[in-house]
Structures are given as structure tokens and as C-alpha cells.
């Protein structure tokens, strides 16, 4: 039997080497007595099908039945989603090409049981991916609500900087926004920008104007 080996590393996987996937695949083929038709290797995100040129080449070769089975190290090296996985499986079946995953030994799409296991594992992989994405979104949202924009570090307690601190530091630094920002950063441990200082001074001036005009601060949104 002739086998097409596929390996993929993500552009984010610094220091990763496709040989970490290909070497055990070669050994497995040797033990099974299979011949390797070709090795296909991509360096791209799973979702970046445009730059996964070897992946597209593999599918073209499968269409010409240049090999009997596609062998990968793990499901997430080949597929970006459940839909992508099941669609590819359907295509390979139409070419009469099998599919196997070394780390998911129950998957052998030349049998009904193997197809069932493939669909289950692909669904679990997608579920875990969605859960991770949801956790990240919730963590960033929590961080934004507690004083950070990027969400790093998650759950950091917000350190309040009072108007009094800003005004006294501003006065002590000769009304210089940049110098005030540096002083506040050093004093509070919170990174403060000159823009923050300017905005706070402007807001305090507006409050003072309203108070002098007789408007109670509690009657407006501060």
C-alpha cells in the first residue's frame, strides 16, 4: 500500500519542526510494510488554506489516486474545524483514498467503525477549541471591566487614581502632562499616560465649572 504523509506546523509554533511529526509516521509505515509515496509539509495556520500549498497538492494527488491512504500525526495538524474534517473525509472517500491518524489509532476510514470514531474525535476537538475561545473572550471581557484593555494580566485588581492625586502631582510637576504621568506611574505602580492626565484635568475643570454655576455633580453623569 502506498501512503501520503502530511505534516503541518503553525506559524505561531516557534521552534517547531515538522520532523517531529514525520519521523514517527515513517517508522509506522516501515513497521506496517507500507511504501511512502510522498511527504507533504506546510507551515501555516490550519485555517489558512491558501498558504497550505502542500495540503492542496496532497488533495490533487489523492484525486489522481497516487496513494491509497493519507496518514497524519494528529487530527489538528490537518483540519481547522469539524466541517472541514467531514468535508475532506467525504472527498477522500470519493477518491477511494483512506485516512489514518497515528495518535488517534481508532481512526481508519476504510471501515464503518473508523468513520464513526473519526467524526466523534473531530467533534470533540472542535468542542475543546470553542471552549478555549469562549474562556479567552470571557477573560478579556472581565479584564476590560476591571481596568485593563488587553486582558493581561487577567483578574488584576484595579488601582484607583483619585482626582486629588492627579491634581497635586500635576501642580508639583509645573502643569506638565508627561512629567505628571511619569510621577503617577512611579507612585502608584499603574502605567499612566499623558493623555490620561490631560483627560482627567479636563474633566476636573469641567466639574469645577458646573459646581460654580450651581449644578450639583450628582445630577450629571461623571
Which residues belong to the active site? Answer: 10
Instruction: Answer yes or no: are the C-beta atoms of 2 and 34 closer than 8 Å.
Output: yes
Residue 193 cell numbers, joined: 499616560
Residue 38 cell numbers, joined: 510522498
CA angle 50, 51, 54 (to 5 degrees): 105
Q: What is the DSSP letter of 156?
A: P
Q: What residues have CB less than 8 Å from 147, skipping those under 6 apart? A: 156, 157, 158, 159
Q: What are phi and psi of 46, to 5 degrees?
A: -60, -35
Nearest to 117 by CA among 104, 130, 128, 129: 104
Determine the length of the chain: 222
Distance between CA atoms of 200 and 221, rounded to whole angstroms? 15
* CA quadruple 30, 31, 35, 40: dihedral sign: negative
Amino acid at each position: 500500500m502506498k501512503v501520503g504523509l502530511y505534516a503541518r506546523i503553525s506559524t505561531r509554533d516557534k521552534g517547531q519542526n515538522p520532523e517531529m511529526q514525520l519521523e514517527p509516521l515513517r517508522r509506522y509505515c516501515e513497521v506496517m510494510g507500507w511504501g511512502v509515496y510522498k511527504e507533504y509539509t506546510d507551515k501555516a495556520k490550519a485555517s489558512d488554506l491558501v498558504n497550505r500549498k502542500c495540503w492542496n497538492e496532497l488533495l490533487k494527488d489523492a484525486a489522481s489516486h497516487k496513494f491509497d491512504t493519507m496518514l497524519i500525526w494528529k487530527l489538528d495538524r490537518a483540519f481547522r474545524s469539524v466541517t472541514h474534517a467531514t468535508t475532506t473525509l467525504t472527498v477522500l472517500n470519493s477518491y477511494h483514498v483512506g485516512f489514518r491518524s497515528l495518535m488517534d489509532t481508532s481512526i481508519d476510514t476504510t471501515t464503518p467503525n473508523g468513520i464513526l470514531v473519526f467524526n466523534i474525535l473531530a467533534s470533540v476537538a472542535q468542542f475543546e477549541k470553542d471552549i478555549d475561545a469562549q474562556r479567552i473572550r470571557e477573560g478579556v471581557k472581565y479584564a476590560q471591566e476591571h481596568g485593563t484593555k488587553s486582558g493581561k494580566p487577567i483578574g488584576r485588581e484595579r488601582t484607583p487614581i483619585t482626582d486629588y492625586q492627579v491634581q497635586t502631582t500635576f501642580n508639583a510637576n509645573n502643569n506638565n502632562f508627561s512629567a505628571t504621568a511619569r510621577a503617577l506611574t512611579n507612585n502608584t505602580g499603574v502605567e499612566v499616560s499623558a493623555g490620561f492626565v490631560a483627560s482627567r484635568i479636563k474633566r476636573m475643570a469641567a466639574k469645577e465649572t458646573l459646581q460654580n454655576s450651581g449644578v450639583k455633580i450628582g445630577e450629571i453623569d461623571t
